[in-house]
Amino acid sequence: MKKFLFLFLISLTSISTFATNYYVATSGSDSNSGTLSSPFKTITKAISVVSAGDYIYMRGGLHSISSSPIVITKNGSSTSKIRVFAYGSEVPVLRFNNSEGDSNRGMGLDGDYWHWKGITIERA
């Protein structure tokens, strides 16, 4: 039983080591590496590099988006969701440059197994 538990814990550790954390900040640049100390500027850049099991952490502030709609077609999986979370207790706001209405779309989520938490999306 101890051997099984040990192997199980090792397998969990190895699974979690494949996930990558990407960071997006209003002060970043899309030519950066997407790390906490060198974040991307746009959510579109982070979406372009993210894979199943990865996290995108959005730093607080107003993220103005002029290229809309953003259509997400990548998929996570039932065991490896793609997560887009606010960083800590910060409040990121994705503000699209569209007027609100039925015909305007800011973001289309056509991919499966995405988990969004703490992100405000407005004017879309």
pLDDT digits (tens, 9 = 90+) for 8-30: 555 554 445 589 999 999 999 99
pLDDT digits (tens, 9 = 90+) for 55-82: 999 999 999 998 768 899 999 999 999 9
Whether 87 and 115 have beta carbons less than 8 Å apart is answered as: no
Q: What is the residue-wise DSSP string for 79-120?
A: SS-EEEEESTT--EEEEESSPSSTT--SEEE-SSSEEEES-E
Model-level pTM? 0.82
How far is residue 93 CA from its own chain's centroid? Answer: 13
Within 8 A by CB and 6+ apart from 15, the residues are: 53
